[in-house]
Structure 1
Amino acid sequence: MELKLDGLCVVTDGRSLVRDLSLKVLTGQVVGLVGPNGSGKSTALRCVYRALRPSSGTIWVGDRDLARLPLRHSARTIAATTQDGAVDFDFTVEEVVALGRAPHLRGNQALGARERALCVSAMERLDIGHLAHRGVLTLSGGERQRVLLARALVQEPDILILDEPTNHLDVRHQVELLALLRASGLTVLVVLHDLNLAAAACDRIGVLARGSLVASGPPEDVLTAELVADVFGVTASVVPHPLTGGPQLLYSIGSSR
C-alpha cells in the first residue's frame, strides 16, 4: 500500500518543526529519513502513526486520507515502533508480542491458533523465541527493541513506521533487521542515523534539515560528500561498496565543522 505525505506541516508554540514535507513511499519500498538531531524526522513519523496531528497537509494511505480513517482501521494498516521503546510493565515477551493482535480482536477475545502461530513466527524471525517467558524489564535495550519489532510484525500491517529501529542493536541484529525489512514486502518508512545502513537498506532516502526536505532520491544520488558536509557538518569521502557498488561514507575524524 502506498504512503504519501503531501505538504505536511507541524507548528507548535510558534515554532515550525516540519515545513511543507512531501514524500512518497511506493508499495513495497523501503524509504529512509535521515538528518541531524532536531530536523523533524520523528515529528513527521508521529503524524503518520497518529500520535500527533499535523498543523496542515495530508497523509494519504493508498487513496484515503489518514485523518478520515477510523482509528481501528489505521491501527490494522499501520504499525509503528518508536525510538524510546518504553515498556512500563513487566509483561513477558510473548505477552508484549501478542499485543500486536489487539487491533484485530474484539474486547478480551483470546488469541486463536493462527494468532499464536503468528506470534511464534515473529519471535523466531527476530531471534527472541528463547526469551518468550522472560519479563521484558529484565531484557537489554536491544532485546526489548526486537520484542517491539516482533509486536509490529504480528500486527500484519501494510505499512511499517520505524523510528531508529537499530538503536541498541548489535551489528549482527542491525544487519538481520534491515535484511528482514528488505524482504518483507511491506511499505516501510524508517528513520536511521547511520548513513551507511541507510544506503544499504533503503530504496530511496529523504534528507531533512531544520524541518524541510533538502534532498530525496536513490542513495547514490543523495548521499554525496557535499550534502553530508552541508547538512551534517562533517567531512566524508563517498566510495562504492566493494560488493554492492552502493555508496559508503568514510568519515574524517576531527574534520567536523
Structure 2
Amino acid sequence: MDLRLDRLTVVTDGRSLVHELSLEVAEGQVVGLVGPNGSGKSTALRCVYRALRPTRGTVRVNDDDLTRLTPRRSARLVAAMTQDGSVDLDFTVEEVVALGRAPHLRGNQALGRAERDLCRETMERLGIHHLARRGILTLSGGERQRVLLARALVQEPKVLVLDEPTNHLDVRHQIELLRLLRGAGPAVLVVLHDLNLAAAACDRIGVLSQGRLVTAGTPEQVLTTDLVADVFGVRATVVPHPLTGDPQLLYSLDPSR
C-alpha cells in the first residue's frame, strides 16, 4: 500500500507549520524527511499517525483518508516510532513488544501461538530477545529504542513512520536499524538529521525548510553542495562512498572554504 500526503497543511496560532506538502511513499520504499530544526518534519509525521489533524489537505493510505477511519482501522495500517515514545510503567520487554498486536485483538484477548512467534522473531531480529524478561525502565536509551521499534514492527503495518529512530543508538545499531528498514516491507517515512545516514538508508529524500518542500528525489539528486548550503547554511563537499557509491557529505568547519 502507498502513503500519499496531498497538499498537507498545518496552521497553529496563525502560523503555518507545514504548507501544502505533497509527497508519496510507495510500498517497500524508504523515504526520508530532512531539514533544519523547526522545518515541519515531525509535524508532518504527526499527521500521518493521527496525533495531529491537518488544517487542510489529506493523508491517504491507498484510497483511504486516514482521518475518516476508526482508530482501530488506522492503527492496523500505520505504526509509529516517535521521539517521545516513552513507557512510564516498568513492563517487561516482551510485554511492551506484545502491545503492538493490540489493534488486531479484541478486548483482553490473549496472543495466539502465531502472534507469540511473531513477537519472538521480531525481538531476535532486533537483537533484544535476551532482554525479554527485563523491565523496560532498566534498559539503556538505545536498548529501549529497539524495543519500541519491535513494538511497531509486530503491529504489521502497511505504513511505518519513524521520527529520529537512530537517537541513542551506537554506530553498529544505527546501521543495523537502517538496513532493517530497507527490507521491512511497508512504506517507510523516516525523519533523519544525519544526511549521510539518510543517503545510505533512503530510496528518496524530501527536504523541508520553513514548512515547505524544497525538493524531493533520489539522494544523488537532492544532496548537492548548493542545496546543503542554501537549506542548512553549511558548506559541504559531496563525494561518492567508495563501496556503495551513495553520496556522502564532508563538512567544512571553516566558513571561508
TM-score category (smaller protein): over 0.9
Verify the 8 A CA contact 2:128 2:146 in the aligned structure 1.
Answer: yes
Verify the 8 A CA contact 2:28 2:183 in the aligned structure 1.
Answer: no
Q: TM-score scaled by structure 1?
A: 0.98
Write the letter of the residue equivalent to 1:6: D
List 4+ stretches of structure 1 deviating above 6 A.
none
1:51 is paired with a residue whose SS is coil
Partner of 2:42: 42
Partner of 2:228: 228
2:86 is paired with a residue whose SS is coil
Aligned length: 257
Mapping of residues 121-132 of structure 1, within 5 Å: 121-132=121-132
Show CA shifts across 1:65-85 (max 9, x none): 111122111101110000123
Verify the 8 A CA contact 2:136 2:144 in the aligned structure 1.
Answer: yes
2:189 is paired with a residue whose SS is strand
2:156 is paired with a residue whose SS is coil
Show CA shifts across 1:192-222 (max 9, x none): 0110010011010000000000010000000
Verify the 8 A CA contact 1:234 1:256 in the aligned structure 2.
Answer: no
Partner of 1:252: 252
- 1:256 CA displacement: 9.1
The whole-number CA distance in structure 2 between the counterparts of 1:186 and 1:208 is 23
1:111 is paired with a residue whose SS is coil
Mapping of residues 73-222 of structure 1, within 5 Å: 73-222=73-222
The whole-number CA distance in structure 2 between the counterparts of 1:61 and 1:115 is 25
Verify the 8 A CA contact 2:30 2:188 in the aligned structure 1.
Answer: yes
Partner of 1:72: 72
1:53 is paired with a residue whose SS is coil
2:249 is paired with a residue whose SS is strand
The whole-number CA distance in structure 1 between the counterparts of 2:188 and 2:103 is 19
Q: Say what the alpha-carbon RMSD is for the aligned residues.
A: 1.2
The whole-number CA distance in structure 2 between the counterparts of 1:58 and 1:187 is 17
- 1:253 CA displacement: 1.9
The whole-number CA distance in structure 2 between the counterparts of 1:149 and 1:179 is 13
Show CA shifts across 1:198-253 (max 9, x none): 00110100000000000100000000011001111111000011011110000112
Show CA shifts across 1:125-178 (max 9, x none): 111111111111111111110000000011011110000001110000010011
The whole-number CA distance in structure 2 between the counterparts of 1:221 and 1:149 is 29
Specify whether residues 98 and 222 from structure 1 end up closer, same or farther in structure 2 by C-alpha distance, changes over 3 A only.
same
Verify the 8 A CA contact 1:78 1:157 in the aligned structure 2.
Answer: yes
Verify the 8 A CA contact 1:45 1:163 in the aligned structure 2.
Answer: yes
For structure 1, list consecutive stretches of 5 or more residues without a partner in the other structure.
none
Q: TM-score scaled by structure 2?
A: 0.98
The whole-number CA distance in structure 2 between the counterparts of 1:85 and 1:232 is 27
Percent of pairs identical after alignment? 77
Write the letter of the residue equivalent to 2:176: E
Partner of 1:16: 16
Specify whether residues 256 and 159 from structure 1 end up closer, same or farther in structure 2 by C-alpha distance, changes over 3 A only.
farther
1:50 is paired with a residue whose SS is coil
